[in-house]
Structure 1
Amino acid sequence: MATEPVNVSEFQELAKQALPKMFYDFYSGGAEDQYTLRENIEAFSRIMFQPRVLVDVSCINLSTTILGYKISSPIMVAPTGMHKLAHPEGEVATARAAAACKTIMVLSFSSTCTVEEVASSCNAIRFFQVYVHRRRDISAVLVQRAERCGYKAIVLTADTPRLGRREADIKNKMISPQLKNFEGLLSTEVVSEKGSKLAAFANGALDPSLSWKDIAWLKSITNLPILIKGVLTAEDAVKAVEVGVAGIIVSNHGGRQLDYVPATISVLEEVVQAVGGRIPVLFDGGIRRGTDVFKALALGAQAVLIGRPVIFGLAAKGEYGVRRVIEMLRDELELTMTLCGCRSVKEITRSYVQTERDSLRSLL
C-alpha cells in the first residue's frame, strides 16, 4: 500500500504483507467454517442510525470511566496473545501506544513480554487477563505477580475449556513459542508431529473443570476486581452478577472458539438488560469503525475492546501503528457522535440506533 492507511481495515493488508503466513493466519483466522468470525463484522452493517439534527455539537467529550478509572475514549485494548510474533517489541510497544492514547490495555496471559516488563514500560492503567491452568498454582502466581506490578483488574476468560478448532493453524502446524511469563513455572515446548503445536500445548494446559464455583477461588487469591470475558447469554450474565464479579465482557473470542455462535453485537442488548445496570458490561468482537463503537455503546456497552486491529497495526508499523489504529477509531467515533447529535458518551442511548428486531417489530 503506497499511501498511509486511512482506515483500520487497511492495516490488515499491510500486516498480511509484513507477516509470515503462519503468523498472519494465526492472528486473522477463526474456528472451523469461520462463520462467526465473518458475522462479528457483518452484523454491524445491519444496524442503522437514527440521528438528531440541530444539536449544538461544537464540543464533543469522548471520555468515560471504567471501574473508576478515567480513559480518553471508550476504546480499550483487548487481550491478544504473543505480540512478538507480530513485532520484535511485542506487548511493550502495544502498552506504550495504549498509554499514549490514555486508555486501558488488557495484557494477555499468553503475552510474549513478562508482566513486569510491560508494567515498567510506561505509566498507565492496565488489566491482566487470565486463563485457569490445570495447575492452579501457575495461574495464581501470575495473578499475584500482576497485582504486585500494579495491574488494576483481572479479566477471566471463561469460554476456553479447550481451544477451538482453528484449521489454518492445523495446516500450518502453528508453533508454540516460549512464553516468558512461564519461565521457571513450566515449559511451553510441545512435541507433536501433526497439527497445531499451539493447540496441543493449550489443550494440555487449560483446565476444563473450571466452573462458576471457581470464581470464589479466584477471589481468594487476589484483591483485584474480576471481570468475566466470554458471556453471550442472559442466563450467564445473571450468574455473573450472582457470584459477585465486577464486570462482564460480551465476547465470542473473536470467532476463534465455537463457530456458529451469534455475533457479539447481536446478543449485547440481551446481556445488558439481564444485568440491569448492576455491573458494567463491556463489548468485544468485530469493531472496525468508529460507527461500530457508537452502535455498541448505544446498545448498552460502557466501552469496547479491540483485538485484531491492534495486532495488524503492530505488525504493520509497530507502536506507531497501534496508536494510529486507536486514534482512527476514536476520530471516527467523534465524527459519528457529532453527526448523530451526541455531545458526550453518556448521551449515546438506544434511541440512536435501529436493529433488525426493531424493523421486524414495526412490520407487526
Structure 2
Amino acid sequence: MSDAPRIEALPAGLVNLADFEAAAQARVSAKPWGEAAWAYLNGGAADEITLRANRQAWDDLRLLPRVLRRLDGGHCRVRLLGRELQHPLLLAPIAYQKLFHDDGELAVAHAAAAQSAGLILSAQASVEMERVAAVMRSEPQAGPLWFQLYWRDDREFMQALLQRVEAAGYEALVLTVDAPVHGARDRERRAGFKLPEGIRAVNLGGRKQPLELQPGQSALFDGLLPRAAGWAEVEWLRAHSRLPLLLKGVAHEDDARQALQLGVSGLIVSNHGGRTLDSLPPTAALLPRLRAELGPEAMLLVDGGIRRGSDVLKAMALGANAVLLGRPYVHALAAAGALGVARALRLLRDELEIAMALSGCRTLADAGPQLLWRD
C-alpha cells in the first residue's frame, strides 16, 4: 500500500485560511454523509457562545507596532521540549479525518512534514499511527510528532498503547482532560451525525463495556464518569511512559499549578474549540491569566479560533510558546488534500512573518505584552 499523497489542483482564489471553507463544504457535502460530517466538524456545544467568542477575542486584540527597527536576520523559530522549530505552528488533534478526505491523516502528515509544522495525532485517528509516523520521519525538517490520548480505564490496554506510541517514534503525549463526556452539540445532533461504515478509530480497541447500573443510578455519573481520568491517572501516565506529558484543556490556574507540580511538561490552553462546555472564556483570555499565574518558565500552547498570522503573533505576545491550528486545516484537507493543508500552513506562516516585520519584531522573543494595545 502506497502512502504517497495524491496531488490535487488547488481551488482558485485561496489567499487566506477562510478561503478554504467554501471549497471544503462543497466537497464534503457531496459525500453521502457530508452534511452531518460538516456539522460534526464545525459545530460547537449548546448555543456556541464559546465557539464564537474564541474567534472574536483574537479580533478584539489590537497590535501596537514599533517602527524603524533593524529586522535583518529575523526569524520565527521557537524551542519546544528541547527542539528548535522553524515556526510555532502545530496541528491540533482532530478525529476521523477520513470523513473529509480519503487520505485523511496521511495527507495532513505529508503537509505538516513538508512545511516543518508539528502534528498531534488524535487517538481517534482514522489512519494507523505507524503510517503517520513514517511520513513524518521521512522528512528531516518535519516538526514534532505528538500523540493525543483520551483516558481508557483499562491499564493493560493503556500500557500497550503507550508502548506502541513510543515504538512508532512519537515524541510526547497529550492527554485531553476537558472532555470526560461529550458536550451537548446541538448542531451535530440535529444533523444526525454518526460514523459511516469503514471509518473508525483504528488505533483503539473495541467498544468499552458499560458498567452495570442499579435502579435510580445515573448513566453519566455512575456509569461513565467513574472511568474518567483524575490526577491519579496523570501520575500513572507519568510513571508508565518515558515521553513528556502535556495536558490539553486546563483552564483554571489551580489545576495548572497542580499539573506542573506532578511533573507535567506543558499545558495546552484550550476550550476544545467550543465543543464541550459552552460559556467558557475564550482562550485568548485564559492564556495571559495562566501565564501570569505560572510564570515565564511554564510551557503553554494555545488553540481556539486562530485564523491569521496576526492571531499567532498576538498569542505569542500573550505568553504562548506555540499555537495549535484546528478546524481550518481540516477545511484545507477537504478542499485539496495534502496540497491544501500545505498551502494553508504556508499562508499562515507568511502572514506571521509579515505581521512580525510590520510590528518591529525581529524574532518572537520581541513579541511581549508591550506589543498589544491597552485601552
**How far has the Cα of 1:169 moved from its partner?**
2.0
**How far has the Cα of 1:132 moved from its partner?**
0.2
Structure 2: distance between partners of 1:67 and 1:132: 23
Residue of structure 1 equivalent to 2:59:
45
More displaced, 222-231 or 61-70? 61-70
Structure 2: distance between partners of 1:209 and 1:37: 25
Identity %, equivalent residues: 38
| 1:326 counterpart = 2:335 | no
The change in CA–CA distance for 1:204 and 1:287 in structure 2 (over 3 A counts) is: farther
Structure 1: distance between partners of 2:135 and 2:332: 19
What secondary structure is seen at the aligned counterpart in 2 of 1:265? helix
How many equivalent pairs are there?
Answer: 343
Structure 2: distance between partners of 1:229 and 1:107: 13
**How far has the Cα of 1:133 moved from its partner?**
1.4
**How far has the Cα of 1:240 moved from its partner?**
1.4
Residue of structure 1 equivalent to 2:234:
215
Does structure 2 conserve the Cα–Cα contact (< 8 Å) formed by 1:241 and 1:278?
no
| 1:163 counterpart = 2:163 | no
Residue of structure 2 equivalent to 1:179:
201
Residue of structure 1 equivalent to 2:17:
8
Does structure 2 conserve the Cα–Cα contact (< 8 Å) formed by 1:179 and 1:188?
no
Q: Among 94, 109, 133, which residue is 1:80 paired with? A: 94
The Cα offsets for residues 307-349 of structure 1, whole Å up to 9 and x where unpaired, read as 1011000000100111111111100010000000001111111
**How far has the Cα of 1:137 moved from its partner?**
3.0
What secondary structure is seen at the aligned counterpart in 1 of 2:120? strand
Structure 1: distance between partners of 2:209 and 2:44: 23
| 1:302 counterpart = 2:321 | yes
- TM (norm. structure 2) is 0.87
Does structure 2 conserve the Cα–Cα contact (< 8 Å) formed by 1:178 and 1:188?
no
**How far has the Cα of 1:47 moved from its partner?**
0.8
Task: Specify the code of the residue in structure 2 equivalent to 1:286.
Answer: G
Does structure 1 conserve the Cα–Cα contact (< 8 Å) formed by 2:136 and 2:145?
no
**How far has the Cα of 1:135 moved from its partner?**
2.7
Residue of structure 2 equivalent to 1:61:
75
Residue of structure 2 equivalent to 1:110:
124
What secondary structure is seen at the aligned counterpart in 1 of 2:169? coil
| 1:231 counterpart = 2:239 | no
Structure 2: distance between partners of 1:104 and 1:293: 15
Residue of structure 2 equivalent to 1:194:
none
Structure 1: distance between partners of 2:191 and 2:316: 38
The Cα offsets for residues 194-218 of structure 1, whole Å up to 9 and x where unpaired, read as xxxxxx9xx9888653112221111
Does structure 1 conserve the Cα–Cα contact (< 8 Å) formed by 2:123 and 2:201?
no
| 1:98 counterpart = 2:94 | no
Structure 2: distance between partners of 1:299 and 1:23: 34
Does structure 2 conserve the Cα–Cα contact (< 8 Å) formed by 1:76 and 1:104?
yes
More displaced, 144-153 or 229-238? 229-238
Does structure 2 conserve the Cα–Cα contact (< 8 Å) formed by 1:161 and 1:207?
no
Residue of structure 1 equivalent to 2:40:
26
Task: Specify the code of the residue in structure 2 equivalent to 1:97.
Answer: A
Does structure 2 conserve the Cα–Cα contact (< 8 Å) formed by 1:106 and 1:127?
yes
> Gapped runs of 5+ residues in structure 2?
1-9, 29-33, 211-218
- TM (norm. structure 1) is 0.90
Q: CA RMSD in A?
A: 2.1
Structure 2: distance between partners of 1:282 and 1:299: 11
Structure 2: distance between partners of 1:147 and 1:205: 28
Query: Which one scores higher on RCO, CA 8 angstroms, separation ≥ 6?
Result: 2
The Cα offsets for residues 154-198 of structure 1, whole Å up to 9 and x where unpaired, read as 00100011011111221222113422112xx314999xxxxxxxx
What secondary structure is seen at the aligned counterpart in 1 of 2:146? strand
The change in CA–CA distance for 1:206 and 1:111 in structure 2 (over 3 A counts) is: farther
The change in CA–CA distance for 1:189 and 1:236 in structure 2 (over 3 A counts) is: closer
> Gapped runs of 5+ residues in structure 1?
191-199, 360-364
Does structure 1 conserve the Cα–Cα contact (< 8 Å) formed by 2:309 and 2:352?
yes
The Cα offsets for residues 277-332 of structure 1, whole Å up to 9 and x where unpaired, read as 23211111110000100000000000000010110000001001111111111000
